[in-house]
Amino acid sequence: MPTESFSSAWVRRLAAVLLLVLLGAVGLLGPAQAGTLEAVLAPGELIADHAKLESECASCHVRFNPKGQDALCMDCHKDVGQDVRKRMGFHGKARDPEASCRGCHTDHKGRKARIVQFDPKGFDHKQTDYLLRGKHKDAACDKCHASAKKYRQAASDCLSCHKKDDTHKGGILDKAGAIAKCSDCHTESGWKDTHFEHGKHTRFALEDKHARLKCDDCHAKARYRDTPRTCIGCHQKDDEHKGLYGSKCESCHNAKAWKDSTFNHDADTRYSLRGKHRKVQCNDCHTGHLYKVKLAQDCFSCHKKDDKHKDTLGRDCESCHSESGWRDPPRFDHDKTSFPLLGKHIKAECKACHKSQLFKEAPKDCLSCHQKDDKHQGTLGKACADCHSERDWKTTSGRFDHSATRFPLRNAHATSKVKCSDCHTKGLTGFRQTAMTCYACHQKDDKHEGSQGKQCETCHNDASWKVTLFDHGKTRFPLTGRHNGVVCQDCHASKRFKDTPRECVACHLKDDKHKATLGAQCETCHNTRHWKSWDFNHDKRTKYPLTGSHTQVACAACHTQPAPKGKAIADIGQRCVDCHAKDDAHDGQFGRRCEQCHRTAGWLQTEKTLSQSSYKVFTLNVHLAHVVGWCSHSQRLAPLPAHAAVPTLPAMDAHRHPARAGLGTRLPARDGAEPGGQRAQRTGADRQREV
């Protein structure tokens, strides 16, 4: 016995060592070799549905992770995976969170093995989404679950199984117009037991006598769809009006009793029944189709035969008659017409205005009856009531409202001093011909003699003729600065205001300190705030900017001549010599371009250096100036001595400054004498040679 137990222990140890070696080999080998090895170590064949995965162990197994197998199962069986995730169906509701797929479905048991162990008799249907109730509990599984389909594919709606039992043939609709659900009426306890609520599930609630009817009374031959919901749909045979009153039976009848009418003519129509109209039958007035033939509401439409006036007084019978009796005394009230009787009209007889029985044709304007009394002969129109009243034709005081015309009376025009005849001078027939302009009446008061036009209201108003409200800012000369405090007479010497000139010099010529040397446009420098406050930017407003010492020079130093007519200033030139010819110490020998050496900062300040190019040009200009100077002074200069040489242009690179040119050693003095004080003797040939 000890020897046998010892041998068994060694066998177990050897098997464990071999298993460890195999596991290490699987980890060290490549995927291909490892897959072959795993296939060799498989505990058995897969079922027929999994046979294609026989050599693909990784499709179902995760190395060293047994729980990872569930995710791989659900990747293939997606419908089961979806149930598990959503907690629905058999696998979603009955599955233990800790359980695994292989706990129920273990493979590697051979091709014909059944890895789904299902006992229909012991299965609890509560673990599904469809709870069995009533007669469904006694039904066999194959009644709902077809053999060719999965259990989960069984339909859950009634009609899928009971379509052959549907006697309505889809004819019952819900409120939305779709086919109603069987469960709305039927239950699992019995197919013929119903609990249908007509008002809840349809658009036709059953009330009163309708609630006591059988379904077949309205739904003949089990026809539930398209059953009419209108009264006339079922009660057309009961319609005593023969369709003349339309199909809206509910307007008069209800479900309580067909013969009792609930129609209220006073509340439901725009024609209330009064007096004898209440005793009249409906068809006495409504002789045609109620909704096609519109019944008139006026008296004349029904009582034309009773009109003793033969339509001469119109068709407003109710103006005089009432529904209580056609022959009752008239109750006509003239005040309710468009022409109420007032004043002396109250005492007038009807025939005084109504010449015939056609009362409505009687005119309502005054002139139609009182044309013979019109003193204005129609010039003021037909609105006599604007001035006259019914009390007395001749009394007009206080009646006429002048503000209703195009010329309302205000202020001085409205005083009692002004009479109508003061403005209306053409008699009773000429009121409309009266002019409305100020000038028409006040021409004699015009102190301006017509020079300001005829629009007097621009300055004057009707409160007082002498008070003016003239706005000078609306003219071509707005008042600004000190002009605002000046009285009118200072500028306007006469009442002819438009003749007043607008130029500054017209009034301020005596104040012109420049004596017209700077022109007549004073506003160029001065403003209306103060005469001595002036501002002129010489740099921006002229073509000659002031620099250096020029900025300190007074205007009169350069502008010495009066400006010609039509010009702002006299032409004074822009060259230095135009003003500084008297200051030229060189006597023109260096030309007229003083700015080449001098600066505006000071006349004695000269440029110290010249560039090479500018120096050459400057030297050439100086030589030419000398030659021109000799020629211009030939008449007063003596000829040069025989030993004197004509000046020549020195080399440009030998002389860098005019002082070194040596020209002065051979030039004659300004008075024609030689530098030594001796007068030069030159012949005509010398002058010709010099030229």
Side-chain-side CA neighbours of 535 within 13 Å: the count stands at: 5
Q: Are 151 and 120 in contact (CB under 8 A)?
A: no
Q: Are 344 and 395 in contact (CB under 8 A)?
A: no
Q: What is the pLDDT of residue 422?
A: 82
Give the residue-averaged pLDDT of 563-579.
84
Q: Quickly state the pLDDT bin for 242 (edges 50, 70, 90).
A: confident
Least confident of 33-42, 98-107, 235-244: 33-42
Q: What is the pLDDT of residue 683?
A: 37
Q: Is the pLDDT of residue 541 over 80?
A: yes
Q: Which are the contacts of 201, defined by CB distance < 8 A and separation ≥ 6?
A: 174, 175, 180, 184, 185
Q: Are β-strands 598-599 and 602-606 bridged in parallel, bridged antiparallel, or unpaired?
A: antiparallel
CB atoms closer than 10 angstroms to residue 128 = 19
| Residues 364-414 pLDDT 10s | 888 888 888 888 887 787 888 888 888 877 777 777 888 888 888 888 888
Give the residue-averaged pLDDT of 660-682.
34
| Residues 142-168 pLDDT 10s | 888 888 788 888 888 888 888 888 877
Q: If you ran DSSP here, which 8-state letter would residue 89 be given? A: H
Exposure class string for 144-178: b at 16+ Cβ within 10 A, else e: beeeeeeeeebeeebeeeeeeeeeeeebbbeeeee
- 10 Å CB burial of residue 569 (0-12, 13-18, 19+) is buried
Q: How far apart are CA 196 and CA 428, in angstroms?
A: 94
- Most confidently predicted of 263-267, 331-335, 654-658: 263-267
Side-chain-side CA neighbours of 242 within 13 Å: the count stands at: 5
Give the residue among 240, 274, 234 at the shortest CA–CA distance from 255: 234
Q: What is the total residue count of the chain?
A: 691
| Residues 604-614 pLDDT 10s | 777 654 555 55
Least confident of 2-16, 340-354, 504-518, 532-546: 2-16
Q: Are 406 and 436 in contact (CB under 8 A)?
A: yes
DSSP string spanning 16-73?
HHHHHHHHHHHHHS-HHHHHHHHHHT-SSPPPGGGGGGTT-GGGT--TT-TTHHHHHH
Q: How far apart are CA 87 and CA 80, in angstroms?
A: 10
Least confident of 1-15, 99-113, 345-359, 379-393: 1-15
The full set of domain ranges for the chain reads 609-691
Residue 191 main-chain phi, psi, to 5 deg:
-65, -30
Q: What is the pLDDT of residue 3?
A: 42
606 SS3 class: strand
* C-alpha distances in Å from residue 622, one per residue of 609, 629, 648, 650: 16, 10, 12, 12
- 10 Å CB burial of residue 434 (0-12, 13-18, 19+) is middle
Q: Are 192 and 238 in contact (CB under 8 A)?
A: no
Q: Quickly state the pLDDT bin for 12 (edges 50, 70, 90).
A: low
Least confident of 10-24, 459-473, 483-497, 654-668: 654-668
Q: Are 477 and 486 in contact (CB under 8 A)?
A: no
pTM of the model: 0.32
| Residues 289-315 pLDDT 10s | 877 788 888 888 888 888 877 787 778
Q: What is the pLDDT of residue 24?
A: 52
Q: Is the pLDDT of residue 35 over 60?
A: no
Q: How far apart are CA 124 and CA 120, in angstroms?
A: 9
Q: Are 691 and 626 in contact (CB under 8 A)?
A: no
| Residues 47-93 pLDDT 10s | 888 888 888 888 888 888 888 888 888 888 888 888 888 888 888 87
Q: Are 546 and 538 in contact (CB under 8 A)?
A: yes
Q: What is the pLDDT of residue 680?
A: 33
- Helix (H) or strand (E) run with residue 194 in it: strand 190-194
Give the residue-averaged pLDDT of 481-501.
84
Q: Are 366 and 357 in contact (CB under 8 A)?
A: no
Give the torsion through C-alpha atoms of 216, 220, 226, 231, to 10 deg: -70
Q: Quickly state the pLDDT bin for 10 (edges 50, 70, 90).
A: low
CB atoms closer than 10 angstroms to residue 483 = 15
Give the residue among 620, 607, 514 at the shortest CA–CA distance from 563: 514
Q: How far apart are CA 214 and CA 282, in angstroms?
A: 34
Give the residue-averaged pLDDT of 501-520.
84
Q: Is the pLDDT of residue 616 over 80?
A: no
How open is the CA angle 471-476-480, to the nearest 5 degrees? 65
Average pLDDT of the chain is: 76
Q: Which are the contacts of 612, defined by CB distance < 8 A and separation ≥ 6?
A: none
Q: What is the pLDDT of residue 38?
A: 61
| Residues 434-455 pLDDT 10s | 888 888 888 888 888 777 878 8
- 657 or 419: which leads in pLDDT: 419
| Residues 198-228 pLDDT 10s | 877 788 888 888 888 888 888 877 777 778 8
State percent of the chain over pLDDT 90: 0
Q: What is the pLDDT of residue 636?
A: 38
CB atoms closer than 10 angstroms to residue 594 = 19
* The one-letter amino acid at 249: C
Give the residue-averaged pLDDT of 636-656.
39
Q: Are β-strands 190-194 and 186-187 bridged in parallel, bridged antiparallel, or unpaired?
A: antiparallel
Q: What is the pLDDT of residue 661?
A: 35
Least confident of 198-202, 274-278, 564-568, 614-618: 614-618
Q: What is the pLDDT of residue 641?
A: 44
Q: Are 638 and 682 in contact (CB under 8 A)?
A: yes
